Structure 1
Amino acid sequence: MLKRLVPTIIFTLHIIFSTSAQIETSIIEAAHAYARAQINSDVESILKFTYPGLIEQAGGYESMKNTWKKIQQNQIEKGIKMQDFKVQEPIQHTRSNGEVHALVPVVTTSKVPGGRLISESVLIAVSDTGNDNWFFIETTSIDEGNVGKVLENWDGTLVLPFKKAPVFKEDKK
């Protein structure tokens, strides 16, 4: 009996770990595309990756598009330009009420007047299928107390990490 059970267990574990690796690869690919959109200030592409619930809460697609454009214009006026957006490991994910949720650590570097601002944060990645269609939620103004207002299927299995203050690196003169 045990001789027949061991291969079944090994096969099941292999499938679980393979599926997990595929989900993480899919998230990383989508996060890199989202990063390119952010660096290039490509509002249309950013919105394709924006969680639909956020777009709805912002008053719809056009309203969210205008908000993004205002944010980008404000950054230009202040001399802020994103230079780098790196996806970090590990990525944690879980299934929650029919969706896959993942925490994706990222590090962004922005050129600011007098130097660079380096920020560590986390994106929440959301997918109905766990395949190629990923949406992202920035956690800059989200914490454990209000994440359910933005992502109604959030079950608390994943824990948002504490926020870290950005680090300013002064330009060398």
Structure 2
Amino acid sequence: MSLFPGDIEEQARKIVVDFTARGLMVATAESCTGGLIAGALTEISGSSAVVDRGFVTYTNEAKVDMLGVTQATLLAYGAVSKETALQMVHGALFRSRASVAVAVTGIAGPSGGTSEKPVGLVHLAAQSRSGTILHREMRYGDISRTEIRLATVRTALEMLVEAAFGMKKGQA
């Protein structure tokens, strides 16, 4: 029995198989998901060949200390922003042995949202050492804390593949 829904487990299994075959390693930088992306990957047997490390940076201080996010970025744009997500992913990639990294920062709710940054807003970034840098702003809506976090895991796993192989979901 998996800790994760079947579709997430299948996504993670495919990543572990494909990345192992290509000798690619992954790092994660997670705020609103609290380690669920790394957890989904490590749920798969053999994931030690793929998962280098995960950074759970729930506070701004952790984002600065562990990933090198600048105070200026946090003050200007806030923790939940494109700019912060991009700095998080860069920090994860270059503070690891990973070939590709993914970062997420968002508002999972049920509290904490504003009209400008509502519950369900998540910024995701993925970056590869070959130079691919991706960003997505997702507005999942106020669909429940658990569903926002699981939707974020799904999107993050898709972005890892896209950053590693330069393809969107569904491409061969």
Which has the larger Rg? Answer: 1
Query: What TM-score does the superposition give when structure 1 sets the normalisation length?
Result: 0.31
TM-score by length of 2: 0.31
**Higher percent of residues as strand:** 1
